[in-house]
Structure 1
Amino acid sequence: MKKNILAQAISFALAGMPLIACASEAELMQRLDQMAAEIAQLKAELAANKQKTETVEKRQDVLATTVETSAAKGPSSILGPNTVLSSYGEVNYSRQSKDASKSQADVARAVIGITHRFDEKTKMVAEFEWEHAVTSSSDKGETEVEQLYVEREFNNGLRAKGGLFLIPAGLLNSNHEPTAYYGVYRNFVETAIIPTTWREVGFSLSSTLDNGLTWETGLSTGFDLSKWDATSSDGRTSPLGSIHQEGQQAKSRDLSVFGALNWRGMPGLLLGGSVFTGKAGHKTTDFPAQDARVTLWDLHARYTPGKWDLSALYARGTISNTDALNQSFAGQQTPVPSSFYGWYTQAAYQLWKSEDYALTPFIRIEKFNTANSYSPSVDVPTGPNERVITVGSNFNIGEGVVIKADYQKFKQDATRDRLNLGLGYAF
């Protein structure tokens, strides 16, 4: 570009030389003024082209940062220089061993995600989810905003986040795409005890240190114990899952605090834990458990040496000061438990890999109790210590598609034994 402009300038100068020899002084000055104006215009065009080139290069740098950030979740579709589209979904089939009439197929979920970078350090993340294929007042499906937050990274590595985001608890809640876990369904401990996918509206700070330690802490909405339905079995299925608020006009008189630590200072090893606590009464009128407090904590580990993938997790929750509330539930089937817990161990091994295909069998043993204890006023049996053994395999096709099959054996309730098949994707 610079060579072209200089050539044009020289051409104008040469074209003017014969005129200098024969023109009057006035004509000469007029020609010189015209040549000066044309050269000034060429300089302006050169400056504009330089600015345009710098802008394109800057946008390319931002785009590269966006693609690099989203690479951890797999290949994504780029909607523009700063915007990335992502998605995941799963279709499952289950056949119960004792009663084949209860077999069912389900489009469990379909999720669309959008990440937009305003600049190198500021981004917006949104995820929209549809569950069970059909959503209406008479169907079991749900439509929900799973995440919606803005995050800013500062020069010292500190990150600040605000909006609706996933609580950093356990191994699965923050990484719950079907390609990220073994088995057709998410494990019971991280759905019944830790209510994955668990999100709250709030604000958090986080950072990753040079020694491999990542920390996150924040203030957020919590649970609403006034939503507890003692006539339903939902509280037995998942105590916290039945009273979470999901950012839907969430009661916020009582806020909660949380914190998480994860250490990755050794290749292939992750050690971590989290805690979440807050009151759940919110000064609700005539509610007999104003001082009830919900606390949930977990410890987890994952180790991936070579072809092995080994993990373990323990989680425990408590709901305090529920004696008066449970007295009002006298005679009903599902009082509020004062404690609940669960743990699992899991081992997977990549048995075979060829080009884009990989076969990884696994076994998982888990034990959980959603009603481990009650307040002294409750005269009902505690929940069973259910143990589930899951044996199966993941068959990965490339980086974004997985076919799954497993068999689950229940110790306490054998009627739930089942064969599961699944298809999932994530990009």
Structure 2
Amino acid sequence: MNKKLIAAALGAAFLAPIGAMAQETDLAKRVEQLAAELEKVKAELAAQKAQAAAAPAPAPAPAAPAIRAAGAPLQAPSNAPAPIAAVTATPASAMTQDTVLTGYGEVNYNHPVRNASGSQTDVRRAVIGFQHRFDEKTKLVSEFEWEHAVASAEDQGEAEVEQLYVEREFAGGLRAKAGLFLMPVGLLNQNHEPTAYYGVERNFVETRIIPTTWREAGVGLTGEFGEGYTWDAGLTTGFDLTKWDPASSEGRESPLGSIHQEGQLAKSRDLALHGALNWRGYPGLLVGGSVFTGKAGHATAGFPAQGARVTLWDLHTRYTPGAWDLSALWAYGRITDTNALNATFVGNPTPVPSSFAGWYLQAAYKLWQKSDFTLSPFARFESFNTARSYSALPAGLGVPSAGYERVATVGANLLVGQGVVLKADYQKFRDDKSQDRVNLGVGFSY
């Protein structure tokens, strides 16, 4: 340091003024400080390396979970646990926007007013879903459902894949999907979580006329245009009329529900087309409709209804001004070319109907809200007929068409936070009064 000062002083005496010498001295001090800090950092790094070399080798890391951390590749080693186990072991904080866990479920209690012994409690359904985004434009949507608590050969429960499709987004808001997906029909089919509808049970029109939860395998397109218009179109599997059981009451309960295929080894000789159009151009208002049509014979050898076609239309609207929630829906279905088929069913109680229809009106009001609680009373009136008409048969061999059943439902939903709902309602049937009942339920969605 003394040599540098002497050199600086000599330089100042012969080559520069006194001010320049001061600047040179300050620069030299800064250089020395930086050099000292650098030596300190080097010493610390050397000590860390020595400590790491002396420490024992770490234990092997646990298998990587199926849900990846941000930026990591989605792959698991050969000894990775099954996906469900991985999700159970993964804390919520480790979940990323790349893979999202969803789910919903409900437990319901039904008490027939005129037959208390028929009261029952049922774990109606439990659903777990995974949505994985491969990139900003491509995602996988999947949902797996269990109904009635236990699924086995001796029990009434079911285990099923509710959705399983890949979606890709293109320019202009156009989206394409392929796989097993819900049909864009009505108000309930695509939005059927317990927190999304009023009443303990799903309404009759959107369960018996429009089957719930109705999904098909195929390809679909979704897009937008104009001011608030959205559209859906697709080519998918359809119904299988060869499954109709004339000795069972299932077809009377829900004509299409008894012959839908749900992606299970679905006959695909005859495919179906669907289209839907919705408008949301006014705040709080939705107006839309849909159509689904396809043949249902599938060139089955010896089947007498090869030309049978299933077609279903619906019109729907929902308006939410302020605290009100108002909705209405009409659905109408047809099955053609059933004459020869029904002739083989003579003597059975449930031939194939040629038409079926239903509608409902519903009003709900957000009456009370405090903290995380929201109470919404509602009333719904619906009318439906699962056997509105039959094709012509010789006199004395046909089954008379059924009348419209009319059901009035009054009740309330108590929303707890954003994901839990408590429900209670009373349902009054006009014709089959033995069905009058009180319903209680709890549901959740996340």
Q: CA deviation at 1:176?
A: 0.1
Q: CA 1:413 to 1:78, structure 2 compared with 1: closer, same or farther past 3 Å?
A: farther
CA distance in 1, matches of 2:438, 2:225: 44
Percentage identity across paired residues of the two chains: 66
CA distance in 1, matches of 2:382, 2:96: 44
Pairing partner for 2:398 from 370, 373, 379: 379
Deviations 1:71-120 (CA, angstroms, capped at 9, x unpaired): xxxxx986334100001000000000111110000000000000000011
Q: CA 1:221 to 1:210, structure 2 compared with 1: closer, same or farther past 3 Å?
A: same
- Is the CA contact (8 Å cut-off) linking 1:77 and 1:86 kept in structure 2? no
**Equivalent residue letter for 2:328:** A
- 2:337 counterpart of 1:321: yes
Q: Which residue of 2 aligns with 1:73?
A: none
Pairing partner for 1:153 from 166, 169, 191: 169
CA distance in 1, matches of 2:352, 2:93: 45
Q: CA deviation at 1:271?
A: 0.1
Q: CA deviation at 1:208?
A: 2.1
Q: Which residue of 2 aligns with 1:27?
A: none
- Is the CA contact (8 Å cut-off) linking 1:391 and 1:406 kept in structure 2? yes
TM-score between the two structures when normalised by the length of structure 1: 0.83
Q: Which residue of 1 aligns with 2:304?
A: 288
**Equivalent residue letter for 2:154:** S
CA distance in 2, matches of 1:371, 1:77: 52
- Is the CA contact (8 Å cut-off) linking 1:88 and 1:425 kept in structure 2? yes
Q: Where does structure 1 lack aligned partners over 5 or more consecutive residues?
A: 1-6, 16-57, 61-75
Q: Which residue of 2 aligns with 1:417?
A: 436
Q: Which residue of 1 aligns with 2:421?
A: 402
CA distance in 1, matches of 2:94, 2:207: 32
Pairing partner for 1:299 from 306, 312, 315: 315
Deviations 1:52-80 (CA, angstroms, capped at 9, x unpaired): xxxxxx959xxxxxxxxxxxxxxx98633
Pairing partner for 2:251 from 209, 216, 235: 235
- Is the CA contact (8 Å cut-off) linking 1:393 and 1:406 kept in structure 2? yes
CA distance in 2, matches of 1:202, 1:322: 26
Q: Which residue of 2 aligns with 1:367?
A: 383
Q: CA deviation at 1:209?
A: 2.6
Q: Which residue of 1 aligns with 2:151?
A: 135
Pairing partner for 1:109 from 116, 121, 125: 125
- Is the CA contact (8 Å cut-off) linking 1:129 and 1:145 kept in structure 2? yes
Q: Which residue of 1 aligns with 2:135?
A: 119
**Equivalent residue letter for 2:260:** H
Q: Which residue of 2 aligns with 1:48?
A: none
Q: Which residue of 2 aligns with 1:218?
A: 234
CA distance in 1, matches of 2:167, 2:179: 9
CA distance in 2, matches of 1:96, 1:374: 32
Q: CA 1:227 to 1:78, structure 2 compared with 1: closer, same or farther past 3 Å?
A: farther
Deviations 1:207-264 (CA, angstroms, capped at 9, x unpaired): 1235110001000000000000000000000000000000000000000000000100
| Larger Rg, first or second structure (1 or 2) | 2
**Correspondence 1:53-132 to 2 at 5 A:** 79-132=95-148
- Is the CA contact (8 Å cut-off) linking 1:91 and 1:107 kept in structure 2? yes
- 2:203 counterpart of 1:184: no
- Is the CA contact (8 Å cut-off) linking 1:150 and 1:163 kept in structure 2? yes
Q: Which residue of 2 aligns with 1:201?
A: 217
CA distance in 2, matches of 1:215, 1:297: 15
Q: CA deviation at 1:273?
A: 0.2
Q: CA deviation at 1:355?
A: 1.3
Q: CA deviation at 1:326?
A: 0.2
Q: CA 1:98 to 1:147, structure 2 compared with 1: closer, same or farther past 3 Å?
A: same
**Equivalent residue letter for 2:399:** V
TM-score between the two structures when normalised by the length of structure 2: 0.79
Q: Which residue of 2 aligns with 1:69?
A: none
Pairing partner for 1:336 from 349, 352, 371: 352
Q: CA deviation at 1:11?
A: 4.5
Give RMSD over aligned pairs. 2.0
Q: CA deviation at 1:157?
A: 1.3
CA distance in 1, matches of 2:212, 2:277: 18
CA distance in 2, matches of 1:319, 1:134: 34
- 2:408 counterpart of 1:392: no
- Classify the secondary structure of the residue corresponding to 2:354: strand
Deviations 1:299-357 (CA, angstroms, capped at 9, x unpaired): 00000000000000000000000100000001100000000000000000000000100
CA distance in 1, matches of 2:225, 2:372: 35
Q: Give the number of equivalent residue pairs.
A: 364
Pairing partner for 2:282 from 251, 266, 270: 266
Q: CA deviation at 1:374?
A: 0.2
Q: CA deviation at 1:196?
A: 1.2
CA distance in 1, matches of 2:205, 2:123: 22
**Equivalent residue letter for 1:89:** G
CA distance in 2, matches of 1:77, 1:221: 40
Q: CA deviation at 1:156?
A: 2.1
Q: Where does structure 2 lack aligned partners over 5 or more consecutive residues?
A: 1-30, 40-69, 73-91
**Equivalent residue letter for 1:397:** V
